[in-house]
């Protein structure tokens, strides 16, 4: 009897709790409130869909869609192929010519190393490094130098379009003026845009390919402005005028950062050259003292370890003083 009463009490509490959970929303009116809020939300959704969007909302949506498309295209972009990298560097070589010259240079370095008595297992390593590493470094150097020249001239080209649009000229004529009057590489890049537009490609699509040839944020800004103006409309002269100010402000900031980092770069160069300079001076004054570094096994090991640590320090200092802007 004493065991049955607690069991019955627990069963009653459980049944009451379940009934409270399922019946209380109905009795208190919470179910009706939720249904009413859902009906109101559905009504607002239907009204929003049937209402004609105004010009501001439509323009904002088009701008957002354009930016999403450009961001998605850049996100999916991988390392460009060799032909694109040759075009970005402005070298003007074909892919076959570049590969032939690279292989010939690698064979020349390998043969020179073999003739100078380099150990046999290091000869193919030097040849591969010369055939692959050095030509790619040259491409990166030429690409960076070309991008710097492009950044120097791009604000002037945008100003030409602004003045031309304000005076009543079409954008295509302004681009043709840039293709014939400005400096390289802006001249050749805008000539390609003008030629693409003359072949039937829209101006926005032709400008969008500029970022593939000159992968810079500034060229992407220019393509975004033309694409948004073609889809959403608006004052092109005012938009490009704002873009020109942004480009010049970015240029000023870039020069300011370079000026502020020159002291650190000079210090890094002095620190990096100090061990080699001291070693050369010691060799001039006491050659027998310093020759132990490359005449004994322990000295060669110490020299190799010191060179590795020195290179690590140089790379760390380079990473610290090279700012992304």
Pairwise CA distance, residues 169 & 162, whole Å: 10
Q: Check residue 64 and give its pLDDT.
A: 60
- Report the distance separating Cα 53 and Cα 3, nearest Å: 72
Q: Crossing angle for the helix pair 186-198 and 171-181, nearest 10 degrees? A: 140
Handedness of CA 16, 20, 22, 24 (dihedral sign): positive
Buried b (16+ CB within 10 A) or exposed e, 179-197: beebeebbeebbbebbebb
Taking residues 174-192, report their average pLDDT.
86
Average pLDDT over residues 182-198: 86
The helix (run of H) or strand (run of E) holding residue 131 is none
Task: Give the residue among 216, 230, 113 at the shortest CA–CA distance from 170.
Answer: 230
pLDDT for res 263? 79
pTM: 0.63
pLDDT at 36: 66
CA angle 79, 81, 86 (to 5 degrees): 115
CA distances from 80 to 215, 216, 247 (A): 10, 14, 26
Tokens of residue 94, six digits: 């074909």
What is the average per-residue pLDDT within 190-200? 85
Q: What is the pLDDT of residue 227?
A: 79
DSSP 53: P
Instruction: Pull the structure tokens for residue 61.
Output: 């949506």
For the stretch 262-306, pLDDT in tens is 877 888 888 888 888 888 888 888 888 888 888 888 888 888 888
| Tens-digit pLDDT profile for residues 199-215 | 888 887 888 888 888 88
Taking all residues of the chain, what is their mean pLDDT, rounded to a whole number? 77
Per-residue b/e over 30-42, b at no fewer than 16 CB within 10 Å? eeeeeeeeeeeee
- 68: which 2 tokens? 């999403």
**Residues 142, 91: contact at Cβ < 8 Å?**
yes
Looking at 34-38, 55-59, 128-132, 232-236, which range is the least confident one? 55-59
Structure confidence by residue, pLDDT tens digits, 90-143: 887 888 888 899 889 888 888 888 888 777 777 888 888 888 888 888 888 898
Give mean pLDDT, residues 155-163: 86
Average pLDDT estimate for 184-209: 84
- How many CB atoms are located within 10 Å of the residue 261 CB? 15
The reported pLDDT for the residue numbered 1 is 45
Sign (positive/negative) of CA torsion 205, 207, 212, 213?
positive
Residue that wins the pLDDT comparison between 57 and 242 = 242
């Amino acid at each position: 009897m004493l065991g049955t009463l607690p069991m019955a009490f627990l069963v009653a509490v459980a049944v009451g709790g379940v009934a409270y959970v399922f019946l209380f929303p109905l009795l208190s009116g919470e179910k009706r409130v939720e249904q009413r809020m859902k009906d109101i939300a559905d009504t607002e959704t239907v009204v929003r869909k049937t209402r004609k969007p105004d010009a501001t909302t439509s323009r904002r949506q088009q701008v957002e869609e354009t930016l999403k498309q450009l961001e998605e295209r850049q996100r999916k972009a991988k390392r460009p192929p060799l032909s694109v990298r040759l075009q970005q560097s402005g070298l003007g070589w074909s892919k076959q010519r570049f590969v032939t010259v690279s292989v010939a240079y690698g064979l020349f370095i390998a043969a020179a190393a073999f003739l100078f008595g380099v150990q046999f297992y290091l000869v193919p390593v030097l040849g591969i490094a010369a055939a692959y590493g050095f030509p790619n470094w040259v491409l990166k150097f030429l690409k960076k130098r070309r991008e710097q020249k492009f950044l120097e001239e791009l604000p002037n080209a945008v100003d030409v379009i602004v003045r031309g649009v304000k005076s009543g000229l079409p954008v295509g004529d302004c681009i043709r003026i840039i293709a014939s009057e400005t400096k390289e590489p802006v001249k050749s890049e805008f000539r390609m845009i003008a030629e693409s537009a003359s072949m039937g490609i829209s101006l926005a699509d032709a400008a969008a390919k500029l970022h593939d040839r000159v992968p810079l944020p500034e060229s992407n800004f220019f393509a975004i402005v033309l694409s948004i103006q073609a889809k959403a409309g608006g004052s092109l002269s005012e938009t490009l005028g704002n873009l020109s100010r942004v480009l010049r402000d970015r240029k000023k900031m870039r020069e300011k950062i370079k000026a502020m980092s020159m002291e650190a770069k000079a210090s890094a160069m002095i620190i990096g050259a100090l061990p080699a300079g001291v070693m050369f001076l010691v060799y001039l004054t006491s050659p027998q003292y310093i020759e132990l570094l490359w005449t004994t096994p322990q000295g060669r090991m110490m020299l190799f370890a010191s060179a590795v640590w020195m290179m690590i320090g140089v790379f760390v200092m380079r990473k610290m003083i090279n700012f992304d802007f």
